[in-house]
Structure 1
Amino acid sequence: MTKELLEKYLNNRCTSQEVEEIILWMQQQSFFSESKKLGEIDWQHFKEDDVVSDEKLDSLLDKIHHKLNIEEPRTVQIKNNRLLHWISKAAAVILIPVLAYLLYTISENNRLTNQITTVTIDSLEVIAPVGSRTVVELSDGSVVHLNYGSRLKYPQNFLGESRGVALTGEGYFEVAHNPDKPFVVNTGRINIRALGTVFNVNAYSESNCISTTLIKGKVIVEKTKNNGNIETIKELIPSQHVEYEKNTGVVRSSLEQVEKYIAWKDGKLVFENESIDQVAKKLSRMFNVEIQVDKGVKEYKYTVTFVDEPLFQILELLSVATPINYRALPRIKNPDGTFSKQRILIERNKQSQTKLN
């Protein structure tokens, strides 16, 4: 054991293998005279005259090791408060890594013994940046496509009775089949449970709607009630699209062509008789802008498909199809020196309005 490795642990920079090494050292070797020398070096550096003697330090360390290695774990827990009281007094003047390590071990006994397990199941997070899509392959072989601005949290390895992930945004899931361990997508209020299937989930935090579209296989849409019980909302069949409204709890279901719900993973933007408000929301999310729609053009709807088109090209094509005009508004400089999002106003084309009158 080295002083550098102990300091690395205290600063939370150890690998899982190094954590295992430190735990083994503490359980089996920390009371050896060679290990005490690590503390004595720093003690000589930090000690002050007439505060505490070397003999008292040595006695203190012996008492700590006695508590850690001789008594039963339950006894240590019962006497933790008294032990921590006199250790904390000594720690005020004994600034040594070994003592700090031992103090941390006593006060965080349960967490320490589970350090290695915690590292192995630590969750990861993948974020699809604005303007691009991301593909993630999970440890079970499942593949997830993430749409613009989406986040997926998942464990390095799936433990327990299910394979759980958390989604914010939109994801297209190709789930590896495992009848013994269902795959569960958590969106905050709604869970989508599957065994091995292909489906799409749209759950952006700013949207009032959470939707699920099943391509093949079978999924179950569930809701966690206030008492913790699970309520089945809908069991989907292929080509079925289900929407859940957050504020009302209303559920809508339909059988239709699913292409418009999943075309985004192939770089397509599909609108089928969608209002200009819906178009503006998708474009805002896709290009990280704020699009404001004037009430004078609310009635316009669009059926069109765009393939990897830039924002202003899309707006130009929309203005050709309907009598609208768009313009970029000046950005506002924030107090920290950054600028606000690009804002775009869509309004009725004034020339077209004049002709109508």
Structure 2
Amino acid sequence: MTKFHHYTIEELLLEDSFVHYCLATNDQAVEEWDTWLKQYPDQQKKIEAAKKLLFSLGIRLTKEEKQLELEKLKAAVQLEKQNRQLPQAWRPSGKSMVRSVVSIAAAVLLFFAGYQVSNWFSSAPVSDTRLAYEIIHSGNGERKMLELSDGSSVILNSNSRLKIPVDYNLHTRSLELEGEALFEVAPNKKKPFLVRAEQTTVAALGTVFKVRAYAFEPGLQALLLEGKIKLSSAAKPAAASFLLPGMQYSAERKTGTVSLLNFDQEQEAAWRKGRLIFRNASLEQIRETLQYWYGMEVILKKNSHKPVRFNGEFDNKELKEVMTAIAYVNNLSYTINENQLTIISR
């Protein structure tokens, strides 16, 4: 897939695998493009721009507009045929001909991209499970700030994935999360805000809450900072839980056990601001903090019994920068591989 590095936005939209990736209709395409983006993070902006163009074409084109674009396309193709039939002296210059061909190619691309996406939406039955999503990813140590169309905002933690339906806020406000994110919800009583993570659904009207559901951890957590939320499980839909500010909902995967606890609101306020604080932290405390903060599994390999202590503060710093400081002070080494950090005491 290295060829895509030099593709324009228009060329990307001609690739079937890219369209499947955008619409989340082919698991292999999604996996391949996810892997490619990890290899070429500098291409993220171009990919997002192409996805937005694809979705806007599918949503905005009415039947009348599609017919109009088709007529324009037919006229452009007819003009090109006429140019080819003209005597040499009457034909456009080489540069003009190139611009003509490029214009027609763009018209073909825009028409069929819009037509295919629009038809996909209009022809798919309501009960069809193949919904179209915009998928937002965050890499190792990366935190993304998102603004949704309804005015709600999201802080997507590292190694996380948020699926946003392309018709979000049209009739409902529903998202799917893998990993961790904090949501600040714009009030709308007619459209409850829903976040689905694993088997749990969190419902809110106007509030601030965080959901954490990483595969390497034993279960799911939901923390409420402001307002009120309702949580329900697909396994036990009748057994709903309601949280008030300062409360934490935890559900274990294996046992299905649900517990309600209080959480450290000061720590969460610091997380929200991107401020990481260590106060005389031991190696185990460092492991727990980094795993919680950066959303990745942290493994300790102790080759020495020398005690480790660390003090420090970091504002919105990447994991590598934080670990470099910790390793230097305590004579440690570390490796970062995909979604795993290994800390080695020497």
TM-score, length basis structure 1: 0.54
In 1, the alpha carbon distance for the partners of 2:196 and 2:301 equals: 36
Distance 1:289 1:312, change over 3 A: farther
User: Residue 312 of structure 1: CA displacement?
Assistant: 2.4
In structure 2, the residue matched to 1:245 is 252
In structure 2, the residue matched to 1:194 is 204
In 1, the alpha carbon distance for the partners of 2:13 and 2:303 equals: 63
The DSSP-based 3-state class of the residue aligned with 1:264 is helix
The DSSP-based 3-state class of the residue aligned with 2:182 is strand
% identical equivalent positions:
27
In structure 1, the residue matched to 2:173 is 163
Distance 1:26 1:265, change over 3 A: closer
Which digits, 9 at most, give the CA deviation of each residue in 1:15-56, with x for residues without a partner? 3366846864799x9xxxx99x98xx9xxxxxxxxxxxxxxx
Is this contact kept in 1: 2:214–2:295, CA < 8 A? no
In structure 2, the residue matched to 1:268 is 275
Greater Cα offset, 205-214 or 300-309: 300-309
User: Residue 176 of structure 1: CA displacement?
Assistant: 0.7
List runs of 5+ in structure 2 lacking aligned partners. 1-11, 20-52, 82-114
In 2, the alpha carbon distance for the partners of 1:191 and 1:288 equals: 20
Answering whether residue 146 of structure 2 is matched by residue 147 of structure 1, we say no
Question: Cα RMSD over matched residues?
Answer: 5.1
In 1, the alpha carbon distance for the partners of 2:179 and 2:249 equals: 16
Alignment of structure 1 residues 87-236 onto 2, 5 Å:
111=120, 113-114=122-123, 122-159=132-169, 162-225=172-235, 230-236=237-243
Structure whose alpha-carbon radius of gyration is higher: 1
The DSSP-based 3-state class of the residue aligned with 1:168 is strand
User: Residue 271 of structure 1: CA displacement?
Assistant: 6.5
Bigger relative contact order, structure 1 or 2 (CA pairs below 8 A, ≥6 apart): 2
Distance 1:198 1:114, change over 3 A: same
User: Residue 231 of structure 1: CA displacement?
Assistant: 3.4
Answering whether residue 344 of structure 2 is matched by residue 345 of structure 1, we say yes
In 2, the alpha carbon distance for the partners of 1:211 and 1:274 equals: 24
The DSSP-based 3-state class of the residue aligned with 1:132 is coil
User: Residue 144 of structure 1: CA displacement?
Assistant: 0.8
Answering whether residue 325 of structure 2 is matched by residue 313 of structure 1, we say yes
Answering whether residue 290 of structure 2 is matched by residue 283 of structure 1, we say yes
The DSSP-based 3-state class of the residue aligned with 1:153 is strand
In 2, the alpha carbon distance for the partners of 1:10 and 1:22 equals: 21
Is this contact kept in 2: 1:292–1:346, CA < 8 A? no
In 2, the alpha carbon distance for the partners of 1:162 and 1:297 equals: 55
In structure 2, the residue matched to 1:327 is 333
